[in-house]
Chains A and B, each alone.
Chain A
Amino acid sequence: MGFERFGTVSFVSQTKVAKFVDFLDEGSLMGTKCKSCGTKYFPPRNDCAECLSSDMEWFEITGPGKLVTYSKLMYAPSGFEKDLPYRICVVEYPDGVKVFGRISPSISDEELSIGMDLVAVPVKLSGDKVAYEFRRP
Protein backbone atom coordinates (compact mmCIF):
# COMPACT_ATOMS: atom_id res chain seq x y z
CA MET A 1 0.00 0.00 0.00
CA GLY A 2 0.99 3.63 -0.29
CA PHE A 3 1.41 4.02 -4.02
CA GLU A 4 -2.28 4.84 -4.49
CA ARG A 5 -1.34 8.34 -3.34
CA PHE A 6 0.53 8.95 -6.62
CA GLY A 7 -1.16 11.15 -9.24
CA THR A 8 -4.64 12.53 -9.82
CA VAL A 9 -6.06 9.03 -10.27
CA SER A 10 -3.93 6.05 -9.33
CA PHE A 11 -4.40 2.55 -10.71
CA VAL A 12 -1.79 0.70 -8.62
CA SER A 13 -1.58 0.54 -4.84
CA GLN A 14 1.08 -2.05 -4.15
CA THR A 15 4.63 -1.89 -5.49
CA LYS A 16 8.05 -2.56 -4.06
CA VAL A 17 9.07 0.96 -5.08
CA ALA A 18 6.24 2.65 -3.13
CA LYS A 19 8.93 4.57 -1.22
CA PHE A 20 8.94 6.84 -4.30
CA VAL A 21 5.83 8.49 -2.82
CA ASP A 22 7.58 9.06 0.54
CA PHE A 23 10.45 10.73 -1.30
CA LEU A 24 7.97 13.02 -3.08
CA ASP A 25 6.57 13.96 0.36
CA GLU A 26 10.10 14.88 1.37
CA GLY A 27 10.57 16.99 -1.77
CA SER A 28 12.66 14.68 -3.94
CA LEU A 29 12.05 12.98 -7.28
CA MET A 30 13.92 9.69 -7.18
CA GLY A 31 14.89 6.98 -9.63
CA THR A 32 16.64 3.69 -8.96
CA LYS A 33 20.13 2.53 -9.87
CA CYS A 34 21.27 -1.07 -10.08
CA LYS A 35 24.01 -1.71 -7.55
CA SER A 36 25.29 -4.60 -9.60
CA CYS A 37 25.66 -3.09 -13.10
CA GLY A 38 25.02 0.61 -12.53
CA THR A 39 22.03 0.98 -14.89
CA LYS A 40 19.87 3.96 -13.94
CA TYR A 41 16.08 3.78 -14.16
CA PHE A 42 13.29 6.30 -14.30
CA PRO A 43 10.58 5.49 -13.59
CA PRO A 44 12.13 3.59 -10.69
CA ARG A 45 12.18 -0.19 -10.80
CA ASN A 46 12.74 -2.88 -8.22
CA ASP A 47 14.49 -5.14 -10.70
CA CYS A 48 17.22 -4.66 -13.30
CA ALA A 49 16.41 -5.83 -16.83
CA GLU A 50 20.10 -5.58 -17.83
CA CYS A 51 21.67 -7.96 -15.27
CA LEU A 52 18.56 -9.37 -13.54
CA SER A 53 19.69 -8.15 -10.12
CA SER A 54 17.12 -6.88 -7.62
CA ASP A 55 19.71 -5.06 -5.56
CA MET A 56 18.83 -1.43 -6.26
CA GLU A 57 19.56 1.93 -4.66
CA TRP A 58 17.70 5.24 -4.95
CA PHE A 59 19.20 8.28 -6.66
CA GLU A 60 17.78 11.78 -6.97
CA ILE A 61 16.77 13.23 -10.33
CA THR A 62 18.36 16.66 -10.25
CA GLY A 63 17.89 19.19 -12.96
CA PRO A 64 17.59 20.84 -15.09
CA GLY A 65 16.59 18.63 -17.99
CA LYS A 66 15.49 19.65 -21.46
CA LEU A 67 11.95 19.57 -22.85
CA VAL A 68 11.80 16.84 -25.52
CA THR A 69 8.12 17.15 -26.51
CA TYR A 70 4.72 18.04 -25.06
CA SER A 71 1.01 18.34 -25.74
CA LYS A 72 -1.87 20.31 -24.21
CA LEU A 73 -4.97 18.21 -23.60
CA MET A 74 -8.35 19.85 -24.27
CA TYR A 75 -10.23 16.64 -23.50
CA ALA A 76 -9.47 14.24 -20.68
CA PRO A 77 -10.09 10.63 -19.82
CA SER A 78 -12.74 10.08 -17.15
CA GLY A 79 -11.50 11.13 -13.72
CA PHE A 80 -9.32 13.99 -14.98
CA GLU A 81 -11.95 16.42 -16.35
CA LYS A 82 -11.50 18.99 -13.60
CA ASP A 83 -7.79 19.33 -14.37
CA LEU A 84 -8.41 20.52 -17.95
CA PRO A 85 -6.65 21.91 -19.79
CA TYR A 86 -3.29 20.42 -18.81
CA ARG A 87 -0.03 19.66 -20.55
CA ILE A 88 1.97 16.45 -20.53
CA CYS A 89 5.58 16.22 -21.59
CA VAL A 90 8.83 14.26 -21.70
CA VAL A 91 12.01 15.79 -20.27
CA GLU A 92 15.51 14.42 -20.84
CA TYR A 93 18.32 14.87 -18.33
CA PRO A 94 22.04 15.12 -19.15
CA ASP A 95 22.65 11.51 -18.02
CA GLY A 96 20.09 10.28 -20.57
CA VAL A 97 17.33 9.59 -18.05
CA LYS A 98 13.92 10.68 -19.36
CA VAL A 99 10.95 11.66 -17.18
CA PHE A 100 7.30 11.82 -18.21
CA GLY A 101 5.01 14.23 -16.37
CA ARG A 102 2.95 17.41 -16.45
CA ILE A 103 4.11 20.97 -17.09
CA SER A 104 3.34 23.46 -14.30
CA PRO A 105 0.54 26.00 -14.92
CA SER A 106 3.16 28.61 -13.94
CA ILE A 107 4.57 28.33 -17.48
CA SER A 108 2.37 29.76 -20.24
CA ASP A 109 1.82 28.04 -23.59
CA GLU A 110 3.71 30.87 -25.28
CA GLU A 111 6.77 30.32 -23.10
CA LEU A 112 7.07 26.65 -24.04
CA SER A 113 9.73 25.64 -26.52
CA ILE A 114 11.35 22.32 -27.19
CA GLY A 115 14.84 22.22 -25.74
CA MET A 116 14.07 24.66 -22.88
CA ASP A 117 15.40 23.87 -19.39
CA LEU A 118 12.92 22.46 -16.86
CA VAL A 119 13.17 21.07 -13.34
CA ALA A 120 10.91 18.50 -11.70
CA VAL A 121 9.25 19.71 -8.49
CA PRO A 122 7.16 17.49 -6.18
CA VAL A 123 3.64 18.86 -5.64
CA LYS A 124 0.77 18.12 -3.24
CA LEU A 125 -2.62 17.36 -4.78
CA SER A 126 -6.02 17.36 -3.09
CA GLY A 127 -6.99 14.29 -1.09
CA ASP A 128 -3.49 13.68 0.36
CA LYS A 129 -2.18 12.81 -3.10
CA VAL A 130 1.23 13.69 -4.47
CA ALA A 131 2.80 14.11 -7.89
CA TYR A 132 5.49 16.18 -9.56
CA GLU A 133 5.43 18.84 -12.24
CA PHE A 134 7.96 20.62 -14.41
CA ARG A 135 8.80 24.25 -13.75
CA ARG A 136 11.36 26.79 -14.87
CA PRO A 137 14.70 26.31 -13.02
Chain B
Amino acid sequence: MQKVGIIGVGQSAFVRGYEGSIRELVFEGFSEAMRDAQIKPQDIQASIICSAPEYDKQRTPAGLMAEYLGLNPQPTFYIESVCSSSSMGLRVAFSMIQAGLHDVVAVIGFQKMSEISSAESQERMGRGADIMWESPFGTMMPAYYAMHARAHMNTYGTTEEDLALIRVKAASYGQINEKAVYRKGVTLEKALESDPVSTPLKVFDCCANADGSSCIIVASEEMAKKLSPKPVWILGLGAASAPINMAGRTTFTGLTCAREAAKQAYDMAGVGPGDIDVAEVHDCFTIAEMMAYEDLGFAEPGKGKELIRNKETYIGGKIPVNVDGGLLSKGHPIGATGGSQIRTITLQLRGEAGPMQVDGAKIGLVHNIGGVGIYGNVTIFGRDE
Protein backbone atom coordinates (compact mmCIF):
# COMPACT_ATOMS: atom_id res chain seq x y z
CA MET B 1 0.00 0.00 0.00
CA GLN B 2 1.34 3.45 -0.90
CA LYS B 3 1.48 6.20 1.68
CA VAL B 4 -0.95 9.11 1.80
CA GLY B 5 0.26 12.48 3.06
CA ILE B 6 -0.91 15.91 4.18
CA ILE B 7 0.72 18.63 2.06
CA GLY B 8 -1.21 21.71 3.14
CA VAL B 9 -3.26 22.88 6.11
CA GLY B 10 -5.28 25.98 6.84
CA GLN B 11 -7.99 27.34 9.08
CA SER B 12 -9.78 30.60 9.59
CA ALA B 13 -9.67 32.28 12.96
CA PHE B 14 -12.44 30.72 15.09
CA VAL B 15 -14.68 33.62 16.07
CA ARG B 16 -18.04 34.61 17.50
CA GLY B 17 -20.31 36.27 14.97
CA TYR B 18 -18.30 36.04 11.73
CA GLU B 19 -19.22 39.05 9.61
CA GLY B 20 -19.48 37.34 6.26
CA SER B 21 -21.21 34.52 4.40
CA ILE B 22 -20.31 30.84 4.66
CA ARG B 23 -18.56 30.95 1.27
CA GLU B 24 -16.29 33.74 2.48
CA LEU B 25 -15.66 31.92 5.74
CA VAL B 26 -14.65 28.78 3.83
CA PHE B 27 -12.37 30.79 1.56
CA GLU B 28 -10.28 31.81 4.57
CA GLY B 29 -9.30 28.27 5.56
CA PHE B 30 -8.99 27.10 1.95
CA SER B 31 -6.74 29.94 0.82
CA GLU B 32 -4.43 29.44 3.79
CA ALA B 33 -4.10 25.73 2.96
CA MET B 34 -3.44 26.50 -0.71
CA ARG B 35 -0.69 28.98 0.20
CA ASP B 36 0.72 26.42 2.62
CA ALA B 37 0.78 23.71 -0.07
CA GLN B 38 1.85 26.20 -2.73
CA ILE B 39 -0.66 24.86 -5.25
CA LYS B 40 -3.59 26.30 -7.22
CA PRO B 41 -7.28 25.28 -7.22
CA GLN B 42 -6.89 23.40 -10.51
CA ASP B 43 -4.28 21.15 -8.83
CA ILE B 44 -7.07 19.85 -6.55
CA GLN B 45 -8.63 16.80 -8.21
CA ALA B 46 -11.63 16.45 -5.91
CA SER B 47 -13.11 18.28 -2.93
CA ILE B 48 -14.96 16.95 0.10
CA ILE B 49 -17.09 19.49 1.95
CA CYS B 50 -17.84 18.77 5.62
CA SER B 51 -20.33 20.43 7.99
CA ALA B 52 -23.42 19.76 10.05
CA PRO B 53 -26.72 20.82 8.45
CA GLU B 54 -29.29 23.36 9.69
CA TYR B 55 -26.97 26.11 10.99
CA ASP B 56 -27.12 28.07 7.74
CA LYS B 57 -29.79 27.92 5.06
CA GLN B 58 -27.68 26.50 2.21
CA ARG B 59 -28.72 23.09 0.97
CA THR B 60 -26.04 20.94 -0.72
CA PRO B 61 -23.13 23.23 0.25
CA ALA B 62 -20.55 21.25 -1.75
CA GLY B 63 -21.79 22.71 -5.03
CA LEU B 64 -21.60 26.25 -3.67
CA MET B 65 -18.12 25.86 -2.21
CA ALA B 66 -16.64 24.15 -5.27
CA GLU B 67 -17.74 27.04 -7.43
CA TYR B 68 -16.60 29.77 -5.06
CA LEU B 69 -13.18 28.16 -4.50
CA GLY B 70 -12.50 27.59 -8.20
CA LEU B 71 -12.88 23.81 -7.95
CA ASN B 72 -15.15 23.21 -10.99
CA PRO B 73 -15.35 20.95 -12.94
CA GLN B 74 -13.71 18.53 -10.48
CA PRO B 75 -16.00 16.24 -8.44
CA THR B 76 -17.24 17.54 -5.10
CA PHE B 77 -19.55 16.11 -2.46
CA TYR B 78 -20.70 16.48 1.13
CA ILE B 79 -19.77 14.37 4.16
CA GLU B 80 -21.57 14.63 7.48
CA SER B 81 -20.96 12.98 10.83
CA VAL B 82 -21.74 16.14 12.87
CA CYS B 83 -18.72 17.11 14.99
CA SER B 84 -16.37 14.57 13.34
CA SER B 85 -17.36 15.42 9.76
CA SER B 86 -13.94 16.57 8.60
CA SER B 87 -12.13 13.59 10.14
CA MET B 88 -14.56 11.40 8.24
CA GLY B 89 -13.80 13.53 5.18
CA LEU B 90 -10.10 12.77 5.63
CA ARG B 91 -10.91 9.05 5.79
CA VAL B 92 -12.78 9.26 2.50
CA ALA B 93 -9.99 11.31 0.88
CA PHE B 94 -7.49 8.66 2.01
CA SER B 95 -9.66 5.94 0.45
CA MET B 96 -10.04 7.75 -2.88
CA ILE B 97 -6.29 8.30 -3.11
CA GLN B 98 -5.51 4.71 -2.14
CA ALA B 99 -7.97 3.53 -4.78
CA GLY B 100 -6.07 5.52 -7.39
CA LEU B 101 -9.02 7.72 -8.31
CA HIS B 102 -7.24 10.97 -7.42
CA ASP B 103 -3.79 12.21 -6.39
CA VAL B 104 -4.73 15.46 -4.61
CA VAL B 105 -7.94 15.92 -2.60
CA ALA B 106 -9.09 18.88 -0.46
CA VAL B 107 -11.04 18.20 2.76
CA ILE B 108 -12.88 21.39 3.63
CA GLY B 109 -14.81 21.84 6.89
CA PHE B 110 -16.94 24.77 7.99
CA GLN B 111 -19.65 25.93 10.35
CA LYS B 112 -21.25 29.29 10.89
CA MET B 113 -23.09 28.69 14.16
CA SER B 114 -23.86 32.34 14.89
CA GLU B 115 -26.72 32.56 12.37
CA ILE B 116 -29.01 31.04 15.02
CA SER B 117 -29.49 31.68 18.75
CA SER B 118 -27.83 29.63 21.46
CA ALA B 119 -31.16 27.98 22.39
CA GLU B 120 -31.83 27.14 18.74
CA SER B 121 -28.33 25.74 18.52
CA GLN B 122 -28.97 23.54 21.57
CA GLU B 123 -32.24 22.41 20.00
CA ARG B 124 -30.44 21.38 16.81
CA MET B 125 -27.70 19.63 18.71
CA GLY B 126 -30.31 17.92 20.86
CA ARG B 127 -31.79 16.60 17.63
CA GLY B 128 -28.38 15.12 16.87
CA ALA B 129 -29.64 12.39 19.18
CA ASP B 130 -32.68 10.08 18.87
CA ILE B 131 -35.45 12.54 17.96
CA MET B 132 -38.21 9.98 18.46
CA TRP B 133 -37.35 8.71 21.92
CA GLU B 134 -34.99 11.20 23.60
CA SER B 135 -35.42 14.71 22.15
CA PRO B 136 -39.08 14.90 23.37
CA PHE B 137 -37.68 14.97 26.94
CA GLY B 138 -35.66 18.14 26.21
CA THR B 139 -32.13 16.91 25.65
CA MET B 140 -29.00 18.84 24.73
CA MET B 141 -25.33 18.01 24.31
CA PRO B 142 -24.16 19.31 27.73
CA ALA B 143 -26.78 17.14 29.46
CA TYR B 144 -25.66 13.99 27.67
CA TYR B 145 -22.01 14.57 28.49
CA ALA B 146 -23.05 15.55 32.03
CA MET B 147 -24.55 12.07 32.46
CA HIS B 148 -21.18 10.64 31.48
CA ALA B 149 -19.46 12.96 33.96
CA ARG B 150 -21.81 11.82 36.74
CA ALA B 151 -21.11 8.17 35.95
CA HIS B 152 -17.35 8.75 35.77
CA MET B 153 -17.35 10.55 39.12
CA ASN B 154 -19.47 7.88 40.76
CA THR B 155 -17.40 4.98 39.40
CA TYR B 156 -13.87 6.36 39.68
CA GLY B 157 -13.98 9.20 42.19
CA THR B 158 -13.22 11.83 39.56
CA THR B 159 -14.08 15.28 40.94
CA GLU B 160 -15.44 18.55 39.58
CA GLU B 161 -12.02 19.99 40.34
CA ASP B 162 -10.36 17.38 38.11
CA LEU B 163 -12.60 18.51 35.25
CA ALA B 164 -11.90 22.17 36.00
CA LEU B 165 -8.16 21.46 35.79
CA ILE B 166 -8.69 20.38 32.18
CA ARG B 167 -10.31 23.74 31.46
CA VAL B 168 -7.44 25.58 33.14
CA LYS B 169 -4.99 23.75 30.86
CA ALA B 170 -7.04 24.49 27.73
CA ALA B 171 -7.23 28.18 28.61
CA SER B 172 -3.50 28.40 29.26
CA TYR B 173 -2.86 27.34 25.64
CA GLY B 174 -5.86 29.15 24.15
CA GLN B 175 -4.19 32.36 25.31
CA ILE B 176 -1.26 31.77 22.95
CA ASN B 177 -3.27 30.52 19.95
CA GLU B 178 -4.11 33.48 17.73
CA LYS B 179 -6.83 31.42 16.00
CA ALA B 180 -8.71 30.68 19.25
CA VAL B 181 -12.07 32.27 20.07
CA TYR B 182 -11.40 32.34 23.83
CA ARG B 183 -8.05 34.02 24.48
CA LYS B 184 -8.29 34.52 28.24
CA GLY B 185 -6.83 32.46 31.05
CA VAL B 186 -9.14 30.62 33.46
CA THR B 187 -8.21 30.03 37.09
CA LEU B 188 -9.29 26.92 38.95
CA GLU B 189 -11.50 29.06 41.21
CA LYS B 190 -13.17 30.78 38.27
CA ALA B 191 -13.87 27.44 36.57
CA LEU B 192 -15.32 25.94 39.75
CA GLU B 193 -17.46 28.99 40.54
CA SER B 194 -19.05 29.21 37.08
CA ASP B 195 -22.79 28.61 36.78
CA PRO B 196 -24.10 25.08 36.33
CA VAL B 197 -25.31 24.28 32.80
CA SER B 198 -26.31 20.68 33.35
CA THR B 199 -25.01 19.19 36.60
CA PRO B 200 -22.22 18.43 37.26
CA LEU B 201 -21.01 20.42 34.20
CA LYS B 202 -20.65 24.19 34.47
CA VAL B 203 -20.15 26.99 31.96
CA PHE B 204 -16.39 26.54 31.92
CA ASP B 205 -16.71 22.78 31.36
CA CYS B 206 -18.30 23.52 27.97
CA CYS B 207 -16.64 24.53 24.72
CA ALA B 208 -17.63 27.71 22.96
CA ASN B 209 -19.77 27.75 19.84
CA ALA B 210 -17.82 29.45 17.07
CA ASP B 211 -17.76 30.23 13.37
CA GLY B 212 -14.83 28.82 11.47
CA SER B 213 -13.44 26.87 8.57
CA SER B 214 -10.58 24.44 8.02
CA CYS B 215 -8.91 22.84 5.03
CA ILE B 216 -6.57 19.86 4.67
CA ILE B 217 -4.85 19.06 1.36
CA VAL B 218 -4.28 15.31 1.04
CA ALA B 219 -1.99 13.76 -1.57
CA SER B 220 -0.69 10.43 -2.85
CA GLU B 221 2.83 9.45 -1.80
CA GLU B 222 4.29 10.33 -5.17
CA MET B 223 2.58 13.71 -5.34
CA ALA B 224 3.30 14.50 -1.68
CA LYS B 225 7.02 13.88 -2.20
CA LYS B 226 6.97 16.01 -5.34
CA LEU B 227 5.01 18.93 -3.90
CA SER B 228 5.91 19.09 -0.23
CA PRO B 229 9.25 19.57 1.53
CA LYS B 230 7.76 18.22 4.77
CA PRO B 231 4.82 15.88 4.10
CA VAL B 232 3.02 14.51 7.14
CA TRP B 233 1.94 10.91 6.60
CA ILE B 234 -1.31 9.26 7.63
CA LEU B 235 -0.08 6.20 9.54
CA GLY B 236 -3.35 4.82 10.83
CA LEU B 237 -7.09 5.47 10.59
CA GLY B 238 -9.81 4.18 12.87
CA ALA B 239 -13.55 4.78 12.67
CA ALA B 240 -16.43 3.29 14.62
CA SER B 241 -20.00 3.95 15.73
CA ALA B 242 -22.15 3.36 18.82
CA PRO B 243 -25.91 3.44 19.50
CA ILE B 244 -27.40 6.91 19.14
CA ASN B 245 -29.86 6.11 21.94
CA MET B 246 -28.50 6.19 25.49
CA ALA B 247 -30.62 3.12 26.25
CA GLY B 248 -28.41 1.20 23.84
CA ARG B 249 -25.14 2.13 25.55
CA THR B 250 -23.11 -0.39 27.52
CA THR B 251 -21.14 2.19 29.53
CA PHE B 252 -21.26 5.84 30.53
CA THR B 253 -17.68 6.12 31.79
CA GLY B 254 -16.19 6.16 28.30
CA LEU B 255 -17.10 6.15 24.61
CA THR B 256 -16.98 2.72 23.00
CA CYS B 257 -16.71 4.22 19.50
CA ALA B 258 -13.49 5.97 20.55
CA ARG B 259 -12.02 2.80 22.05
CA GLU B 260 -12.78 0.83 18.90
CA ALA B 261 -11.48 3.54 16.57
CA ALA B 262 -8.30 3.88 18.65
CA LYS B 263 -7.61 0.16 18.46
CA GLN B 264 -7.98 0.21 14.68
CA ALA B 265 -5.72 3.24 14.30
CA TYR B 266 -3.01 1.89 16.62
CA ASP B 267 -3.06 -1.50 14.84
CA MET B 268 -2.85 0.07 11.37
CA ALA B 269 -0.05 2.43 12.41
CA GLY B 270 1.81 -0.27 14.32
CA VAL B 271 2.19 1.97 17.37
CA GLY B 272 0.72 2.14 20.87
CA PRO B 273 -0.44 4.91 23.20
CA GLY B 274 3.06 5.27 24.62
CA ASP B 275 4.44 6.16 21.19
CA ILE B 276 2.26 9.25 20.76
CA ASP B 277 4.21 12.50 21.20
CA VAL B 278 1.31 14.94 20.95
CA ALA B 279 -2.47 14.51 20.74
CA GLU B 280 -5.56 16.49 19.83
CA VAL B 281 -8.65 15.09 21.53
CA HIS B 282 -12.30 16.06 21.18
CA ASP B 283 -12.79 18.16 24.34
CA CYS B 284 -16.25 19.53 23.57
CA PHE B 285 -16.65 19.20 27.34
CA THR B 286 -14.00 18.69 30.01
CA ILE B 287 -15.37 15.20 30.74
CA ALA B 288 -14.87 14.35 27.06
CA GLU B 289 -11.13 14.98 27.39
CA MET B 290 -11.01 12.96 30.63
CA MET B 291 -12.70 10.01 28.90
CA ALA B 292 -10.40 10.42 25.88
CA TYR B 293 -7.31 9.98 28.11
CA GLU B 294 -8.70 6.60 29.08
CA ASP B 295 -10.34 5.55 25.80
CA LEU B 296 -7.06 6.22 23.94
CA GLY B 297 -4.99 4.29 26.49
CA PHE B 298 -3.01 7.29 27.75
CA ALA B 299 -4.29 6.24 31.18
CA GLU B 300 -5.99 3.14 32.59
CA PRO B 301 -9.76 3.47 33.06
CA GLY B 302 -10.34 5.71 36.09
CA LYS B 303 -6.75 7.02 36.12
CA GLY B 304 -7.27 9.90 33.70
CA LYS B 305 -7.51 12.27 36.67
CA GLU B 306 -3.92 11.47 37.64
CA LEU B 307 -2.74 12.71 34.22
CA ILE B 308 -4.29 16.14 34.64
CA ARG B 309 -3.52 16.43 38.37
CA ASN B 310 0.16 15.80 37.59
CA LYS B 311 0.13 18.07 34.52
CA GLU B 312 1.18 15.14 32.32
CA THR B 313 -0.98 16.48 29.49
CA TYR B 314 0.78 19.86 29.42
CA ILE B 315 3.78 20.54 27.15
CA GLY B 316 6.70 18.88 28.95
CA GLY B 317 4.45 16.17 30.40
CA LYS B 318 4.19 12.51 29.41
CA ILE B 319 1.59 13.11 26.69
CA PRO B 320 0.75 16.73 25.76
CA VAL B 321 -2.95 17.00 24.84
CA ASN B 322 -4.76 19.91 23.18
CA VAL B 323 -1.88 22.32 23.50
CA ASP B 324 -3.63 24.61 21.00
CA GLY B 325 -6.43 25.31 23.50
CA GLY B 326 -8.66 22.46 22.36
CA LEU B 327 -12.31 22.90 21.53
CA LEU B 328 -12.76 24.40 25.01
CA SER B 329 -10.76 27.55 24.20
CA LYS B 330 -10.17 27.37 20.46
CA GLY B 331 -13.91 26.98 19.88
CA HIS B 332 -15.95 24.26 18.16
CA PRO B 333 -17.33 25.19 14.74
CA ILE B 334 -18.66 21.68 14.24
CA GLY B 335 -17.73 20.83 10.66
CA ALA B 336 -14.38 22.63 10.85
CA THR B 337 -13.21 21.08 14.11
CA GLY B 338 -11.61 17.86 12.86
CA GLY B 339 -9.70 19.75 10.18
CA SER B 340 -8.44 22.19 12.78
CA GLN B 341 -7.23 19.31 14.96
CA ILE B 342 -5.46 17.74 11.96
CA ARG B 343 -3.90 21.12 11.15
CA THR B 344 -2.54 21.43 14.68
CA ILE B 345 -0.95 17.97 14.56
CA THR B 346 0.48 18.62 11.08
CA LEU B 347 2.12 21.84 12.28
CA GLN B 348 3.43 20.03 15.37
CA LEU B 349 5.03 17.27 13.28
CA ARG B 350 6.57 19.84 10.95
CA GLY B 351 7.99 21.73 13.95
CA GLU B 352 5.97 24.81 13.00
CA ALA B 353 3.61 25.10 15.98
CA GLY B 354 5.35 28.19 17.39
CA PRO B 355 4.83 28.77 21.12
CA MET B 356 2.67 25.63 21.27
CA GLN B 357 5.41 23.37 19.83
CA VAL B 358 6.12 20.02 21.51
CA ASP B 359 9.84 19.60 20.88
CA GLY B 360 10.78 16.74 18.59
CA ALA B 361 7.21 15.50 18.05
CA LYS B 362 7.32 12.62 15.55
CA ILE B 363 3.98 10.88 16.00
CA GLY B 364 0.70 12.69 16.58
CA LEU B 365 -2.90 11.58 17.14
CA VAL B 366 -6.29 13.14 16.45
CA HIS B 367 -9.40 11.93 18.34
CA ASN B 368 -12.56 13.46 16.87
CA ILE B 369 -16.04 12.45 18.08
CA GLY B 370 -19.41 13.05 16.41
CA GLY B 371 -22.47 13.54 18.60
CA VAL B 372 -22.36 12.03 22.09
CA GLY B 373 -20.08 9.21 21.02
CA ILE B 374 -22.14 8.21 18.00
CA TYR B 375 -19.21 8.51 15.61
CA GLY B 376 -15.59 7.96 16.66
CA ASN B 377 -12.61 8.85 14.49
CA VAL B 378 -9.00 8.35 15.57
CA THR B 379 -6.19 9.15 13.14
CA ILE B 380 -2.43 8.79 13.67
CA PHE B 381 0.11 10.87 11.79
CA GLY B 382 3.90 10.67 11.39
CA ARG B 383 6.73 12.44 9.60
CA ASP B 384 9.91 11.46 7.84
CA GLU B 385 12.93 11.16 10.13
Interface residues of A (CB under 8 A from B): 3, 6-12, 15, 42-43, 68-81, 83, 86, 88-90, 97-102, 114, 131
Select one of A11, A73, A74 contacting B127, CB under 8 A.
A11
Select one of B136, B195, B201 contacting A8, CB under 8 A.
B136
Contact (A78, B198) CB under 8 Å given A70-B150, A98-B247, A100-B134: no
Question: Is the Cβ of A71 less than 8 Å from the Cβ of B195?
Answer: no
Query: Is B1 engaged at the interface, CB distance under 8 Å to the other chain?
Result: no
Residues of B within 8 Å of A69, CB to CB, are 147-148, 150-151, 154, 252
Question: Is the Cβ of B197 less than 8 Å from the Cβ of A43?
Answer: no
Min CB distance A94 to B, Å, is 15
Question: Is the Cβ of B119 less than 8 Å from the Cβ of A10?
Answer: no
Select one of B125, B140, B245 contacting A73, CB under 8 A.
B140
Min CB distance A135 to B, Å, is 15
Question: Is the Cβ of A7 less than 8 Å from the Cβ of B247?
Answer: no
Contact (A7, B195) CB under 8 Å given A88-B147, A89-B147: no
Query: Is B132 engaged at the interface, CB distance under 8 Å to the other chain?
Result: yes
Contact (A114, B151) CB under 8 Å given A76-B138, A131-B136: yes
Select one of B135, B148, B196, B201 contacting A9, CB under 8 A.
B135
Min CB distance B59 to A, Å, is 20
Contact (A74, B123) CB under 8 Å given A3-B132, A12-B132: no
Question: Is the Cβ of B246 less than 8 Å from the Cβ of A83?
Answer: no
Residues of A within 8 Å of B246, CB to CB, are 90, 98, 100
Closest 9 CB pairs of A and B: A7-B136, A80-B138, A71-B146, A77-B123, A43-B133, A11-B131, A69-B151, A77-B122, A98-B247
Select one of A72, A98, A114 contacting B198, CB under 8 A.
A72
A98 CA to B125 CA, complexed, in Å: 23
Interface residues of B (CB under 8 A from A): 117, 119-120, 122-123, 125-127, 130-140, 142-143, 146-151, 154, 195-201, 245-249, 252
12 A/B residue pairs, CB under 8 Å, sorted by A: A68-B151, A71-B200, A72-B199, A73-B140, A73-B142, A74-B197, A75-B119, A81-B119, A90-B147, A98-B248, A102-B137, A131-B136
Residues of A within 8 Å of B197, CB to CB, are 73-75
Min CB distance A100 to B, Å, is 5
A3 CA to B197 CA, complexed, in Å: 30
Given pairs A9-B135, A43-B132, A69-B252, 20 additional interface contacts (CB within 8 A): A9-B136, A9-B138, A69-B148, A71-B199, A72-B198, A74-B197, A76-B122, A77-B123, A77-B125, A78-B117, A78-B120, A80-B138, A98-B246, A98-B247, A100-B133, A100-B245, A100-B247, A101-B137, A131-B136, A131-B137
Question: Is the Cβ of B132 less than 8 Å from the Cβ of A73?
Answer: no
Residues of B within 8 Å of A7, CB to CB, are 135-137
A125 to B, closest residue via Cβ = B136
Residues of B within 8 Å of A73, CB to CB, are 138, 140, 142-143, 197-198
A12 CA to B136 CA, complexed, in Å: 9
A15 CA to B132 CA, complexed, in Å: 9
A71 CA to B140 CA, complexed, in Å: 11
Question: Is the Cβ of B119 less than 8 Å from the Cβ of A77?
Answer: yes
Min CB distance A130 to B, Å, is 10
Min CB distance A108 to B, Å, is 13
Min CB distance B221 to A, Å, is 40
A80 CA to B126 CA, complexed, in Å: 11
A79 to B, closest residue via Cβ = B123
Contact (A12, B131) CB under 8 Å given A43-B245, A100-B245, A101-B137: yes
Residues of B within 8 Å of A80, CB to CB, are 138
A71 CA to B285 CA, complexed, in Å: 14
Residues of A within 8 Å of B196, CB to CB, are 72, 74
Question: Is the Cβ of A79 less than 8 Å from the Cβ of B138?
Answer: yes
A43 CA to B131 CA, complexed, in Å: 12
Question: Is the Cβ of B247 less than 8 Å from the Cβ of A99?
Answer: yes
Residues of A within 8 Å of B126, CB to CB, are 77
B146 to A, closest residue via Cβ = A71
Question: Is the Cβ of A75 less than 8 Å from the Cβ of B134?
Answer: no
A27 CA to B135 CA, complexed, in Å: 22
Question: Is the Cβ of B135 less than 8 Å from the Cβ of A11?
Answer: yes
Select one of B120, B122, B130, B198 contacting A74, CB under 8 A.
B198
A136 CA to B119 CA, complexed, in Å: 32
Contact (A83, B138) CB under 8 Å given A72-B199, A77-B123: yes
Question: Is the Cβ of B137 less than 8 Å from the Cβ of A100?
Answer: yes
Question: Is the Cβ of A114 less than 8 Å from the Cβ of B150?
Answer: yes
